[in-house]
Amino acid sequence: MSYDLETAERAAYAPFFGYMGAASAQIFTVLGAAYGTAKSAVGICSMGVMRPELIMKSVIPVIMAGIIGIYGLVVAMVLKGKVTAASQGYDLNKGFAHLAAGLTCGLCGLGAGYAIGIVGDAGVRGTAQQPRLFVGMILILIFSEVLGLYGMIVALILGTS
C-alpha cells in the first residue's frame, strides 16, 4: 500500500502552520523592535541630559525600530487574511509557505532590530559630541533598517504566491 500524498496534503492541521506564520511574523519583529528601542533609549537618555535640544535627531533610532514593528504588523495582517479552514482548500503547501513567510519577516526583523539598537546607542552618544557624525549614523541606521525590509519583501512574495 503506497502513501497517499494527495490526502496527506489536505491535512486538517494545515491552518496551524499558517497561523503560526502570522504569529511569528509579529512576535519576532516586536522582539527586535523592543530591543532596538530599549537599547537606543539608553543612549538617548544619557546624551539628553546634556543636549536636550537634540531630541528630534536622537529619537530617529527609536522611529526606525518602530518601523520594524510595522513590517511585522503588515505581514501578519496579510498572512492572517490568507489562512482559512482546511475544508476550504487550505492545504499543507500553503500552510508551510505562510510559516516560511512569517519566520522570514520575523527573524529578519529581529536581526534588524538588534542592529538598530546597538547602532542607535553608539550613534546618538557620538552625535552629541560631534554633530557631523549625524549623517553617518543615519546611513548606518538606514542600512540596518533595509535588512528588515528585505525580509518583509520576501515574506510578501512567499505569502502571496
Partner 1 sequence: MATTSSSSVPPSTMATLFPNFRDQEVQSAVKNLLAYSLVILIVPLASMFLLKQYFFEALLGFASNDALTYSAIIAVILVHVVLGIWLLAATKQEDRKKRENKQD
Residues that bind partner 1 (CB under 8 A): 52-57, 59-60, 63-64, 66-67, 70-71, 74-75, 77-78, 81-82, 131, 134, 138, 149, 152, 156, 160
Over its C-alpha atoms, the chain yields an Rg (Å, rounded) of 20
In the complex with partner 1, the residue whose CB is nearer, 92 or 141, is 141
Name, in order, each residue with C-beta under 8 angstroms of 15's C-beta and a sequence gap of 6 or more.
83, 84, 85, 86, 90, 95
Choose between 99 and 155: whose C-beta lies nearer to partner 1: 155
Q: What nine digits make up the cell of 119?
A: 547602532
For partner 1, the closer CB: 38 or 55: 55
Minimum Å gap between C-beta 145 and partner 1 is: 9
Shortest Cβ distance from residue 139 to partner 1 (Å)? Answer: 11
Residue 63 CB-density burial (10 A; 0-12 exposed, 13-18 middle, 19+ buried): middle
- Smaller CB distance to partner 1: residue 27 or 70? 70
Shortest reach from residue 27's CB to partner 1, in Å: 18
Distance between CA atoms of 79 and 77, rounded to whole angstroms? 6
